[in-house]
Amino acid sequence: MEYREALRVLQSGKLASQLWFEGPERYLTDDFIAKIKHRLNLSGDDFNLLTIEGKTISKDRLFDFVLSPPMFADQKLLIVYQPDQLILADDEWKLLTQADESLIICYIGHDIKIPKQLKKAVTPVTMKRITRSEMQKWISKQFRLRGKRISLDQITRIIDRTRYFEYNSTTDLLFLIQEIEKLSATSEEIITGDRIDRLLGRPLEDNVFLLLQNILDKDAHRTFLTLQEYLASGANLYQVIPLLTRNYYQLHILKKLQASGFPHNALGERVGIKSDFILRRMIGSANRLNLARIQQDLNKCLSYEKIYKSETVVIKDHLENLLLELMN
């Protein structure tokens, strides 16, 4: 079931006791679990609430919680992160999957496949990306809750600037809620276009695109300055190499399509770029390079991506080495 259906089931009091959260929108997962906590009247270090990580699990603590009854309540809540890293014996899996219905278990899966030991026990809850109409209503509501007013035009400006609806965008609702909080932090009641232009952060794709342009210009100073700005924002470095790889792949496709006489006005849709500005810059970049050089750099990105996914590396050093190689 999806988020809205799960909300209706929760409100009806008929929610399954073992849930597997999947899909890209972690904000919706956090929101839904917060609603479960509110319904069970749980907060902080409540003895009816336990959060664990599969990688660092204490089995004694886990099964003491699973096997004990709720304290002064009808139900209790177990939240399991990294469920794919749970290492349990068969009898322990059985204890977990056949736990009393007074225990609600939330497995935070997202992009993880459901382990075979859990498949028959859990009910999947899919947190899909929301529609443009839902996004407009959600943004309006978030500003209203913070005592601010915003027009539909400015909501559209935020949506377009954050690139949420672009193909394979990494922008999610967590990024948007952080930006909404930042835009709401000043005393002005009305959210203006000027405030959005001054304060709205760049999504990851924009940072990586700027990184690519600096690499192609062989401008080491600006390349590493862009990386430092990205690091200063507290963002996740692990997403940068896959996005760089994607950008080089898009350059590769553009170069081949140009050579084949593919219609210019259909290039954006073919390579998954909706921004006209970025498409023009990518076409310009493709024109500066020959296909052999693009293929060479794409291979470097693929090689570095494979290494960091299969080996233990210091991601910052690994990324910096890749950037230096791409500028050679």
The Cα–Cα gap between 115 and 95 comes to 15
pLDDT at position 240 is 87
Condensed to tens digits (0 to 9), the pLDDT of residues 115-141 reads 899 999 999 999 998 899 999 999 999
CATH 3.40.50.300 fits 3-126, yes or no: yes
Question: 48 near 76, Cβ under 8 Å?
Answer: yes
Angle made by CA atoms 212, 165, 152, in degrees to the nearest 5: 120
Cβ-based neighbours of 208, under 8 Å, separated by 6 or more:
240, 243, 244, 247
Question: 200 near 183, Cβ under 8 Å?
Answer: yes
Domain boundaries, the chain: 3-126, 132-199, 204-326
Of residues 112 and 233, more confidence is placed in 112
Of residues 78 and 175, more confidence is placed in 78
Span of 216-220, 251-255, 281-285 with lowest mean pLDDT: 281-285
Checking if the pLDDT of 169 tops 80, the result is no
Checking if the pLDDT of 320 tops 90, the result is yes
pLDDT at position 235 is 64
pLDDT at position 168 is 64
The Cα–Cα gap between 158 and 156 comes to 5
Q: Provide the pLDDT confidence category of residue 162 given band limits of 50, 70 and 90.
A: confident
Of residues 172 and 69, more confidence is placed in 69
pLDDT at position 296 is 95
Enter the tokens of residue 146.
């913070």
CATH 1.10.8 fits 132-199, yes or no: yes
Q: Provide the pLDDT confidence category of residue 290 given band limits of 50, 70 and 90.
A: very high
Condensed to tens digits (0 to 9), the pLDDT of residues 6-22 reads 999 998 988 899 999 99
Q: What proportion of the chain, given as a percentage, has pLDDT over 70? A: 95
Reduced to 3 states, what is the DSSP secondary structure of residue 2?
strand
The CATH code of domain 204-326 reads 1.20.272.10
Condensed to tens digits (0 to 9), the pLDDT of residues 176-227 reads 898 899 899 988 999 999 988 888 876 767 778 888 989 999 999 989 988 8
pLDDT at position 198 is 82
Collect contacts of 303-309 with beta carbons under 8 A, ≥24 apart.
304/241, 305/241, 305/242, 305/245, 308/238, 308/241
Pick the closest to residue 164 from 128, 198, 195, 196 (CA basis). 128
Q: Provide the pLDDT confidence category of residue 55 given band limits of 50, 70 and 90.
A: confident
